């Protein structure tokens, strides 16, 4: 287990869901030509970068185990998204995906794993790799499992109305709480910055 040096203070992260949150959810995204980033996605990520959050993508890709998505495709797609973000002055600090599914066709991926959201495996891996303070972190996504991940790590969750969000909003689980429900990731970022007083950079006196 890799532990960041003790002198490195832990930083809050904003964990982002991918499909339906930064790009259009087309079902099983398995071709680069089917990638459409939302028009606000790059600006939203750049705002989080500048505010001092680590930005970490956490995506369930059960389509790999279901043979709907080539295993290598995920890395190819994420490299393309990284390029588009970089062109807009934004970046993601870490990419994590879960290839498992309880009904996977690929035997070694057929599992009730500890990484498929709302399980916390991906967030815990990222916390270890990047030095994240989970209790000060957020999860933004278009499904309740994303909000639930935020709560399970001891942080906060925001539902966005893009992707499955509007449908999800209508089938809210009994007793489910949420920090905010926002039309898009741009609104979610505004909510986060507002709740956190401008974010960690501002709190450290580095804000612009």
Residues known to be catalytic: 17, 19
Cα–Cα distance, 146 to 33 (Å, whole number): 26
Give the nearer residue to Zn ion in terms of CB position, either 143 or 161. 143
In the complex, the residues that contact Mg ion under the rule CB under 5 A are 17, 19-20, 142
Shortest CB 64 distance to Zn ion, Å: 10
Give the nearer residue to Mg ion in terms of CB position, either 164 or 200. 164
Cα–Cα distance, 59 to 54 (Å, whole number): 16
In the complex, the residues that contact Zn ion under the rule CB under 5 A are 98, 100, 113, 115-116
Q: 179 touches which of Zn ion, Mg ion, none (CB within 5 to 8 A by kind)?
A: none
Give the nearer residue to Zn ion in terms of CB position, either 100 or 161. 100
Q: 93 touches which of Zn ion, Mg ion, none (CB within 5 to 8 A by kind)?
A: none
Shortest CB 160 distance to Zn ion, Å: 23
Measured between alpha carbons, how far apart are the two ends of the chain, in Å? 37
Shortest CB 25 distance to Mg ion, Å: 6
Q: 116 touches which of Mg ion, Zn ion, none (CB within 5 to 8 A by kind)?
A: Zn ion
Shortest CB 113 distance to Zn ion, Å: 3
């Amino acid at each position: 287990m890799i532990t960041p040096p003790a002198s490195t203070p832990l930083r809050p992260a904003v964990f982002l869901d991918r499909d339906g949150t930064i790009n259009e959810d087309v079902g099983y995204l398995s071709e680069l030509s089917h990638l459409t980033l939302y028009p606000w996605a790059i600006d939203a990520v750049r705002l989080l970068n500048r505010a001092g959050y680590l930005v970490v993508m956490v995506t369930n890709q059960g389509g790999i185990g279901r043979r709907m998505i080539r295993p290598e495709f995920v890395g190819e797609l994420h490299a393309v998204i990284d390029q588009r973000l970089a062109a807009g002055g934004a970046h993601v600090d870490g990419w994590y995906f879960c290839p498992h599914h309880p009904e996977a066709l690929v035997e070694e991926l057929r599992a009730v794993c500890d990484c498929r959201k709302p399980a916390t495996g991906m967030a815990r891996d990222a916390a270890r790799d990047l030095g994240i303070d989970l209790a000060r972190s957020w999860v933004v996504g278009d499904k309740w499992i994303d909000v639930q991940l935020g709560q399970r790590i001891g942080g906060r969750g925001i539902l966005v109305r893009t992707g499955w969000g509007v449908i999800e909003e209508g089938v809210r689980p009994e007793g489910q709480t949420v920090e905010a429900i926002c039309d898009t990731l741009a609104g979610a970022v505004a909510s986060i910055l507002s709740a956190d007083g401008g974010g960690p950079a501002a709190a450290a006196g580095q804000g612009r």
